[in-house]
Chain A
């Protein structure tokens, strides 16, 4: 565990690869005092209160993320009625934004995106070991992978598990033996 003061009223504490930040809206908060209280073994954690909540920062996002999200947002039609392939409805766009927001750093590069016949978003990826197709709808995400001609699939229903499920599903599709993806441009 290491502690690092990054601003007058902010400390970042790294535990392994995760970073947890304690941030205060007031610059007058005594950071050192909080640091001592936090690290003192005589103080029970339950006795400590923080001015601000604990937040987990967003994972580092690859360069393609903002472009893809912009393309999705620019494809939303509020007058959307039929699936003509050129437009997305807002619910599909929201689901896709959430999906990429939580998994972009795991994914193998910029996806080729289009609308399915049913109006959901299809994202095609080429991975070091095969291909990945993600179909993102407002109610589920379907992952379909091909490695050496062998297919696998997974349906994700719970959005809170999306990141974990994608990470696990991608393991055989990527070259890194640790299962973590190096994002590509």
Chain B
């Protein structure tokens, strides 16, 4: 059976599963003993560039494994293009209908917006929710908080093991976040030991 090919001129179906990419965001430099947090990081729901809240169409009526096979390498490639590379952790997934007509608060119109490109730069499954025009910073925060609430309350998390981390697919989102924070901490400590060793070697 061929992979589902969404048509950009057909619009987005009510039952489509739409995913917001989740990236591992950095901690503050001064945080030595981070409190463990089981929620979604607000930064993953802030759209910095424009009013188009970027989404991936994960499947027509559910999460389509073949679509994931197409999208995961693209999302991982995108995670390396940040100023400071991040790891791609998966998607926060929500039904299209909930985004358009949420149980609480403002809804958002959805638009297919496939991205043309070569190789991993191409994304035939890209879509966006159009955000309200916000001039004030607090309006943008309200929109991000609302979207996070919708995805966190009415959606699910589809996790993807990053290349540098053990798979946490079978863990609950809260457990995973706790484990992820611990792994980060261990990695940071190890990195610091290496840097400290180098500094000692050069006599600093």
> What residues of chain A have their CB less than 8 Å away from a CB belonging to chain B?
67, 70-77, 82, 84-88, 110-118, 120, 122, 124, 131, 133, 135, 137, 140, 142, 144, 146, 149-151, 153, 155
Contact = CB atoms under 8 A, between A and B. Distances in A.
Given A110-B35, A122-B42, A149-B153, A85 B145 contact: no
A71 B35 CA distance: 12
Given A140-B138, A144-B145, A114 B28 contact: yes
Contact of B28 (A86, A124, A151): A86
A73 B30 CA distance: 7
B48 A113 contact: no
A88 B103 CA distance: 36
Interface in B62-112: 83-84, 103-105
Nearest to A155: B138
B5 interface: no
A76 B84 CA distance: 18
User: Is chain A's binding surface mostly helix, strand, loop or mixed?
Assistant: mixed
A142 B28 contact: no
A137 B141 CA distance: 11
Nearest to B31: A71
B137 A137 contact: yes
Interface in B131-175: 137-138, 140-142, 145-146, 149, 153
Contacts of B36: 112
A62 B17 CA distance: 44
A179 to B, nearest CB: 23
Chain B CB within 10 Å — which of A71, A85, A140, A142 has the most?
A: A85
The 10 closest A-B pairs by CB, nearest first: A74-B30, A75-B30, A112-B37, A85-B26, A75-B28, A117-B46, A86-B29, A71-B30, A112-B35, A144-B145
A112 B149 CA distance: 17
Given A84-B84, A124-B37, A153 B145 contact: yes
Given A133-B145, A144-B145, A87 B29 contact: yes
A85 B25 contact: yes
A115 B31 CA distance: 11
Contacts of A144: 142, 145
Given A71-B32, A84-B83, A124-B39, A114 B141 contact: no
Given A74-B29, A75-B31, A116-B42, A146 B149 contact: yes
A142 B149 CA distance: 15
B43 A75 contact: no
B105 A151 contact: yes
B197 interface: no
